[in-house]
Structure formats: structure tokens, C-alpha cells
Amino acid sequence: MKKIWSYLRQDFTTALRDNIVLYTILAPLLVAVLLKAFLPSVEEAGLHFAVDRGVGGAVVAALDQYGAVELYDHTAAVIDRVERPDTVAGIVPGNGDLSLIFEGDEEPGIMESFEAVAAKVAAGYDLVELTTVSVSEADSLLNQVLFAALIMMAALIGGTAAGFNIVDEKESRAIQAAAVTPLRLSHFIAARGLLSVITGGIITLGTGLILAGSGINYGLLLLLIAFSGFVITAIGLAVGGTANNQITAIASLKVIMPVYMTIPILTIFVSEKYQYLFYILPNYWQFQAVREVFFPGSTGYGFWLPAWLTLVLGAVFLAVIVQLFRRRFQIR
Amino acid sequence: MFSRLVNLFKLDLNVTLRNALAWVMGGTLVIMILTVHFLIPDSEFEGMRQYFLDETEHTVLKGALLEAGVAEEWVFNSYDSLHEAVLQDRQSVGLVYRGSLESLQVVMLHHGALSPENVNLLRASLEKTMAESAGLSPGGGYQVEYLRELVEPVSNKMHALPSLLAFEVIVIGFLMVAVMIFQEKSEGTIKAYRVSPGRTGAYLLSKTLVFASLGLIYGLVFIFSTMGLPPNLPLLCLVLALAVSFYTLAGAAVAVFFNNISEWIFVGVGLLMLNMVPIISYGYPAFSPAVLTYLPSYPLLFGLRELLVPTGKPVFLLVWLLLALNAAAFALCLPLVHRKLMKEGRS
């Protein structure tokens, strides 16, 4: 334990000296702040109209209740606006009615919504009294994906910090010096793992605070960080094992990152009947557990099953990585 | 000048292919192709499920709902059972119909929060359905005009291709030119270059050509392996090459301010992340604040979509824009590289 602690202290000194680690701790927190600022306006975005002033003030005022309205002096300007890449419908005076202008490549669902508004505004009927009741505070799928992606990125960075330390030791040949000391491979991995979990934990907690404030169970989040320890350590060893300098470490990370983060996120869009194909991946379960921490009940698995599977499959994954790269660490 | 450029190009190409960067491109390419083929579904993503409860006088709407194809298990008999079903299914909304057809009251059970605009929109959609089923057309109407022919909605796979091209393939030059510059700095190649008859322009052009060529091959292999032959191959090649060369020049302009990858990574990765923000507008086309449209990736993303799935929009504007961006980036980059990189080589 003493050897592990001493190695860990040395790691922290290296980590703090190296810009790469300090910056990578700050980067996800900055992204979380930006995301938090941006997300509400994405979620609340209504429809977007480009309107010819000729339709009259009453129509403009009515359209204003359904989203953003941009006013133009003539139809040609409205058409120019509609032709830009985003989804904006034009409203111009028609033959005694309103004319709704589309490009033709808009999604059918969005066109139906625009038509519903045009029908309501043009006809002025009042057929339904609508009341809305929110049954839970659950957020949209977009929120779930972005929150889970940021938390997984925080954990990934914890592993990366340890990986870059290994690379630093390789470059400075400190790892060769360590190989002739009584340090064992298990101590080396434990120290790296602790560094990964502590760094990843700090970033994860910071990201959680920025995204959710006091709205989540931080006990579960901390447990999940601990349960993800093997996965995070395996990432660190994979980066450190494959790279001999910082440039190749960046290169390794560029391949590891999509495998670790993109695959679990994309499984959201994969049919239920093919989900079993991903059950073997610890990061798949880690992703489900993160979703459960931030949006309880969102996956149908609960928290504990994905958390335990993250731990168990993570241990298997770590064992494979250690076997693959043990010679490269040159430690007994 | 030309033979010097050709020699430099060969040298840079050799260095790039010899080190780990070629493997990274290969590895990432395989991951992207597998992702498109096996992870992104062809069909539309399943939308929100709608559960119903008819509490109108004489339950006049229940029969109409079942006739319209609503599954029987999605039509509930009590408010509590509907509430429970919506609570358990995060991808659902519940609609309770009350009153009469002449004066219909609808209660909508949903998850999360709804903006007033979206509540109004829901109401308008419900009213349109009611008006159509009741044959109502009071007080006039509206016409729909299409600027071009109506096109079928694209599959999720085709929708994903432009974003993978824009944020992985095309930005490869931004990352790689930085890595190459730092490698040359640490190995002292820049100093050697400075005392050779080489010019800054040739140095910059050579790297731009290397990454534009590699990016073009990278992009074409990706496109051929995922969608087959694209509709307008020559124009797509031109756009890919110009876009990669612009990002390479931009990458060089940023990299010259740093000494090594540790210093660069925060700003470099930050800029790459900023460049990715227009993906929000791509996924949610109704959300397009002006500030996002000024980023070069915004027109590029939508332009690539038009090139891969043509709808009749003019794409040549994108080529002119990319030519202008390349010219501006080269004009900015040349003095920067000369002053920051070559000056350093003299010391």
C-alpha cells in the first residue's frame, strides 16, 4: 500500500506539472458550462417563420405565439430566407388567404406543424381547450445523451491522465528506472488506477454539479465512479501501452475515444432486439448507469444492474489490456 | 519552385504515412464504417408513443381512435391507469379527451417541461385534426407552395454521413498539421528547412496538399463504403479537398502559436469542439442562431448533405465560399508561419 501511495504522489506531481492534464480537467467543465447555457434554448425552440409584412399585424401577432417571426418587406426576401439551410417556413399573402412556403425538403412532421399553425391562424377557429400536466421532471432524449456523454468523457479523461503519465515516464525513461526497483506490475496498475479514478471523479463531480446542481444522488454518482474504476484504468493502460510519445498518445486516444463513447451513445438508436450485441461492453453498462443517475427510470435497468456489470466486465477488460501490454511496461 | 514543392510534398507524405497518424486514420475509418453499417438504423427513429383516454360524453372518440389504427392497449379506461402508463414510459405522452365534440377539452400528460410556444403548437395540431375530422373550414384557409419538388425524408444513415464527414474526415488536417509541426519542431526539421533554399509558401502548400489529398482519399473511401457512388462525385471531390485544405491552413495558423502538443491541446481541441456546435442546428433545424451560421462548419454541413442527397439547392455557392476561405486562410497563415515558425528556426 505504501508503495502504491508513494507512486500515486509522484503521479500527481507529474500530472500537475504537465499542461495536458490540467487542461483536460478544465476542458470538460467548460463544455458542461457551455452546454448548460445552450441547451434550454435548443429544447424550447419553437417554429421559425419568415413573414411578408403584407399579411397584416394580426397575423404576425398570432404567429408570434408559436415561435420566432422574422419580418420582410416583400415576398422575394421571404423566399431568400426560406432557401437558407435551416428550417424556416415563409408566410406571404395568397389569393385572399395565407400562403405557406416550403423548400420541399423539410421533414414531414415539421411541415405538418407549420400547416397546423397556418390553418389555425388563417381560420381563427377555437376548437380545443388544452391543459398540460407534467408527470415527471424527466428530460428529453437529447438531454440524456448529452449529459451521459459528458460524464463518460469526464471518466475517459481520468484514464487519459494516467495514460499520459505513463507516456511521460516512457519518454523520460523513468519507467525503466522503476523496473529495477521492487515495484510490481500490480502496484503500478493500482497506482495508475487510483490516479485515473481520482482525476475522473473530480471531473465527474464538477460536471455533475454544473449540469444538475443538487438534483441528483451524488452518492450513486460517486459509487458509479468507483465501479467504473477498472474501465477507466484499462483506458489509461491502453493509451500508455500503445504510445511512446505524446503525439502517438493523442493518436491512440483518437481511436479509443469513439469506441468508448460513440458506441454506447449510438445504441440508443439501435432496436431493442439487437441491444444484446452490446451487453459484453462495460462502457455500454456504464452509459446506462450514468443515465439512471441523472434520469432515474430512463433505461428500464435501474442503477444497480448496470453498475455491477460495469465493474465485472470492466475487470475482465482490464485483465485483457494488462495481458496485451504488460511487456511494454517493462515491470515485473 | 514547382519541383521544390513536389519534393516537399513527397517528403511530407512519407513522414505522414510512416508514423502513427496513418494508422489513426485507418482505425478511425474502420470504426466509422462499422458504425454507419451496424449502429445507425436505416429507419426513422421511433417517435413519442401516444396513449389515450376518452372521457367525452358517450365516449365518442374511442371508436374513432381504434378505427384510425391506434392499438387497443394504448387506449386506457381510467385516468390513473393512463397516468401510470405515461409515468413508466419516458418516450410517451398521454391525451385525455373530455367534454363534447363541440367543446372539447384535452389534458396532455407529458414528461419534463414544455415552453408556451410548444403548448400552443400542440393545441394547433390537435385543432387541425379536429377540424379535418369534423369537416370544418371556417373563415378561410391557407395554400402551400413548394420552391422545389417535394423530396422523401432521408434515412438516419444518410443523415449521419455529412456530420461524420464534416467533423471527422474534414478536420483531420487541423489536427494532423499541428501534430506534424510539433514533431518537426522537436526533431529540429524546421531549423534544417530554414537554412535550405525552401520558401515558407512551399512549406505551407506542401502540407496543405498532403492533407487535402489524404483527406480526399479518406472521405472517398468512407463514402464509397457506406453509400456507394455519390450523385455528384467531381463536385464532392472538389468540396472535400477545399474543405480539408482550409482546415489544414487554419490548423497551421493556430499551431504556430504553441511549442508542443501539451500547450496546443486545450485551444486546439476547444476550437474543434466549437466547430462542432452547428451539429445542434443540423439535428434541430428549427434552432439556428445567427452566431452558429457564421462558423464555417455550418454551410459545410448542409452543403455536404445537399451533395450526398440532392434536393435541387445550388451547391456551387459552397465552392466559392470555400475558395474564399482558403484564400483568406492562406493570406493569414503565410506571414504567421514565416514569422513564428521560420523565425524560430533561425535561432
B87: three-class secondary structure by DSSP: helix
Looking at residue B197, the DSSP 8-state letter turns out to be: S
Q: Which residues of B touch A129 (CB under 8 A)?
A: 99, 103-106
Q: Roughly how many angstroms between the first and final C-alpha of chain A, as a whole number?
A: 17
- CB of A75 within 8 Å of a chain B CB? The answer is no
Q: Is the pLDDT of residue A31 over 80?
A: no
Q: What is the mean pLDDT of chain B?
A: 85
Higher-pLDDT residue of A122, B243: B243
Q: What pLDDT is recorded for position A23?
A: 67
- CB of A45 within 8 Å of a chain B CB? The answer is yes
- CB of B135 within 8 Å of a chain A CB? The answer is no
Q: Is the pLDDT of residue A298 over 70?
A: yes
- CB of B23 within 8 Å of a chain A CB? The answer is yes
- With an 8 Å Cβ cutoff, are B265 and A20 in contact? yes
Looking at residue B3, the DSSP 8-state letter turns out to be: H
> Among residues A119, A117, A126, which one has the least CA distance to residue A49?
A117
> Among residues B52, B55, B108, which one has the least CA distance to residue B76?
B52
Question: What is the number of residues in chain B?
Answer: 347
How far apart CA B3 and CA B7 sit, in angstroms, is 6
- Which of A25-29, A262-266, B200-204 comes out lowest in average pLDDT? A25-29
What is B72-83 written as a DSSP string?
GGGEESSHHHHH
- CB of A140 within 8 Å of a chain B CB? The answer is yes
Min CA distance, A118 vs chain B (Å)? 7
Q: What pLDDT is recorded for position A138?
A: 59
How far apart CA A212 and CA A214 sit, in angstroms, is 6
How far apart CA B174 and CA B250 sit, in angstroms, is 7
- With an 8 Å Cβ cutoff, are B104 and A66 in contact? no
Question: Taking CB atoms and an 8 Å cut-off, how many pairs form between chains A and B?
Answer: 294
Strongest mean pLDDT among A157-161, A164-168, B76-80, B136-140: B76-80
What tens digit of pLDDT does each residue of B96-127 get? Answer: 988 887 788 899 998 877 888 888 888 888 88
The three grid cell numbers given for residue A49, joined into one nine-digit string: 417563420
Report which residue type is found at A244. Answer: N
Higher-pLDDT residue of B297, A326: B297
Say what percent of chain B tops pLDDT 90. 31
Nearest chain B residue to A253, by CA = B24
Compute the average pLDDT of residues A214-223. 89
Number of CB atoms found within 10 A of residue B137's CB: 13
The three grid cell numbers given for residue A145, joined into one nine-digit string: 445523451
Q: Which residues pair with A98 in a beta bridge?
A: A93, B142
Higher-pLDDT residue of B171, B154: B171
What tens digit of pLDDT does each residue of B72-99 get? Answer: 888 898 999 999 988 877 778 899 988 8
With cell 414510459, the residue in question is: B89
Q: Is the pLDDT of residue B195 over 70?
A: yes
How far apart CA B19 and CA B210 sit, in angstroms, is 14
Q: Which residues pair with A48 in a beta bridge?
A: A68
CA atoms within 13 A on the CB side of B227: 24
- The band of A223, judged by pLDDT with boundaries at 50, 70 and 90, is very high
How far apart CA A55 and CA A92 sit, in angstroms, is 6
Q: What pLDDT is recorded for position B224?
A: 95
Q: What pLDDT is recorded for position A44?
A: 65
With cell 358517450, the residue in question is: B58
- The band of B180, judged by pLDDT with boundaries at 50, 70 and 90, is confident
For CA atoms B102, B105, B108, B113, the dihedral sign is positive
Min CA distance, A27 vs chain B (Å)? 7
- CB of A31 within 8 Å of a chain B CB? The answer is yes
Looking at residue A115, the DSSP 8-state letter turns out to be: H
Nearest chain A residue to B183, by CA = A247
Strands B92-99, B49-56: pairing is: parallel
Q: Is the pLDDT of residue A161 over 80?
A: no
Min CA distance, B194 vs chain A (Å)? 23
Q: Is the pLDDT of residue B12 over 70?
A: yes
- With an 8 Å Cβ cutoff, are A251 and B120 in contact? no
Say what percent of chain A tops pLDDT 70. 86
Q: Is the pLDDT of residue B43 over 70?
A: no
- With an 8 Å Cβ cutoff, are B115 and A46 in contact? yes
- With an 8 Å Cβ cutoff, are A259 and B24 in contact? no
Strands B49-56, B142-146: pairing is: unpaired
Nearest chain A residue to B117, by CA = A66
Strongest mean pLDDT among A37-41, A233-237, B304-308: B304-308
Q: Is the pLDDT of residue B139 over 50?
A: no
Q: What pLDDT is recorded for position B244?
A: 96
Q: Is the pLDDT of residue B138 over 60?
A: no
State the burial class of residue A1 (Cβ atoms within 10 Å of its Cβ: 0-12, 13-18, 19+).
Answer: exposed
The three grid cell numbers given for residue A210, joined into one nine-digit string: 454544473
Query: In A249-267, which positions are buried (b, 16+ CB within 10 angstroms) versus exposed (e)?
Result: bbbbbbbbbbbbbebbbbb
Q: Is the pLDDT of residue A62 over 80?
A: yes
State the burial class of residue A286 (Cβ atoms within 10 Å of its Cβ: 0-12, 13-18, 19+).
Answer: buried
Strongest mean pLDDT among A25-39, A147-161, A304-318, B70-84: A304-318
How far apart CA A232 and CA A257 sit, in angstroms, is 12
Element containing residue A133 per DSSP (H, E): strand A128-136
How far apart CA A286 and CA A220 sit, in angstroms, is 12
- With an 8 Å Cβ cutoff, are B265 and A119 in contact? no
- The band of A331, judged by pLDDT with boundaries at 50, 70 and 90, is low
Min CA distance, A284 vs chain B (Å)? 13
Compute the average pLDDT of residues B39-43. 72
Report which residue type is found at A79. Answer: I
Q: What pLDDT is recorded for position B347?
A: 45
Q: What pLDDT is recorded for position A190?
A: 83
Q: Which residues of A touch B113 (CB under 8 A)?
A: 134, 137
- With an 8 Å Cβ cutoff, are A107 and B153 in contact? yes
Number of CB atoms found within 10 A of residue B136's CB: 15
- CB of B3 within 8 Å of a chain A CB? The answer is no
8 A C-beta contact, residue B284 and residue A88: no
pTM: 0.80
8 A C-beta contact, residue B66 and residue B75: yes
- CB of A86 within 8 Å of a chain B CB? The answer is yes
- What lies within 8 Å, CB to CB, of B190 at 6+ separation is B181, B184, B341, B342, B344, B345
8 A C-beta contact, residue A205 and residue A155: no
Q: What pLDDT is recorded for position B151?
A: 84
- CB of B151 within 8 Å of a chain A CB? The answer is yes
Say what percent of chain B tops pLDDT 70. 92
Looking at residue B152, the DSSP 8-state letter turns out to be: P
B47: three-class secondary structure by DSSP: coil
Q: Which residues of B touch A262 (CB under 8 A)?
A: 31, 35
Q: Roughly how many angstroms between the first and final C-alpha of chain B, as a whole number?
A: 25
Q: What angle do CA B188, B191, B194 make, to 5 degrees?
A: 150
How far apart CA A131 and CA A151 sit, in angstroms, is 36
- Which of A103-107, B73-77, B150-154, B177-181 comes out lowest in average pLDDT? B150-154
How far apart CA A50 and CA A83 sit, in angstroms, is 11
B302: alpha, beta or left? (left if phi > 0; alpha if psi -120 to 50): alpha
Please tell me which of the candidates A104, A118, A252 has its beta carbon nearest to residue B150: A104
Strands B75-76, B49-56: pairing is: parallel
> Among residues B40, B45, B43, B46, which one has the least CA distance to residue B226?
B40
8 A C-beta contact, residue B82 and residue B94: yes
- CB of B133 within 8 Å of a chain A CB? The answer is no
- With an 8 Å Cβ cutoff, are B139 and A125 in contact? yes
What tens digit of pLDDT does each residue of B303-317 get? Answer: 999 999 998 888 888
Please tell me which of the candidates A30, A120, A269 has its beta carbon nearest to residue B127: A120
Please tell me which of the candidates B106, B112, B147 has its beta carbon nearest to residue A128: B106
8 A C-beta contact, residue A204 and residue A124: no
Q: Which residues of B touch A95 (CB under 8 A)?
A: 143
- With an 8 Å Cβ cutoff, are A46 and B117 in contact? yes
8 A C-beta contact, residue B281 and residue B303: no
Q: What pLDDT is recorded for position B206?
A: 93
How far apart CA B220 and CA B17 sit, in angstroms, is 18
Q: What pLDDT is recorded for position B207?
A: 92
Q: Which residues of A touch B85 (CB under 8 A)?
A: none
- The band of A213, judged by pLDDT with boundaries at 50, 70 and 90, is confident
